[in-house]
């Protein structure tokens, strides 16, 4: 087994080709309740699409609207706080509630709700295909916000409030 001398690093000759990258500032992680909310709603929408159940579109629209207006009474954050309390105790729930549901994430829930309200109106007209054409991108936005940390609603909120 070859041993590398202490003054040489493996593949050190490649460093001259790499652009200098300044370190990114450390930012606070996003609160878990809104991420879980967005992710679960996206999962419900995709599940409804896979099993040909367009009835989930209005249900998810209502839950997203509740998360926009009164997130403390929304069923999804209540579910996650109940699960955390049963598993980790009341101290963990207090730290979870302290993070709350900040305004940018409320804007993300409002964007999701608005798109899904349009999908619900199209569904009421009777066109399931077009309703899914609205609902699936909404599911993609929710999944991006939840898993990828790319929150389009948060970015829209930041632009509207004058921050970048």
Predicted confidence (pLDDT) per residue in 49-66, tens digit: 999 999 999 999 999 999
CB 116 within 8 A of CB 60: yes
The C-alpha atoms of residue 93 and residue 96 are separated, in whole angstroms, by 5
53 φ, ψ (degrees, to nearest 5): -125, 80
**pTM: predicted TM-score of the whole model, two decimal places:** 0.78
CA geometry: angle at 141 spanning 83 and 96, to 5°?
25
Tens of pLDDT, residue by residue over 114-156, are 999 999 999 999 999 999 999 999 999 999 999 988 889 988 9
């Amino acid at each position: 087994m070859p041993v590398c001398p202490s003054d040489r690093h493996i593949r050190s000759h490649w460093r001259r080709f790499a652009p200098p990258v300044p370190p990114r500032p450390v930012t606070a992680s996003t609160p878990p309740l809104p991420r879980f909310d967005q992710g679960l709603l996206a999962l419900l929408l995709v599940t409804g699409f896979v099993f040909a159940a367009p009835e989930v579109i209005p249900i998810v629209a209502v839950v997203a609207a509740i998360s926009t207006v009164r997130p403390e009474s929304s069923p999804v954050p209540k579910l996650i706080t109940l699960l955390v309390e049963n598993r980790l105790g009341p101290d963990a729930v207090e730290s979870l509630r302290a993070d709350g549901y900040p305004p940018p994430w409320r804007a993300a829930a409002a964007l999701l709700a608005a798109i899904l309200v349009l999908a619900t109106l199209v569904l009421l007209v009777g066109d399931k295909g077009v309703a899914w054409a609205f609902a699936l991108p909404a599911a993609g936005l929710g999944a991006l916000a939840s898993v990828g940390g790319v929150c389009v609603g948060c970015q829209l909120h930041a632009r509207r409030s004058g921050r970048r």
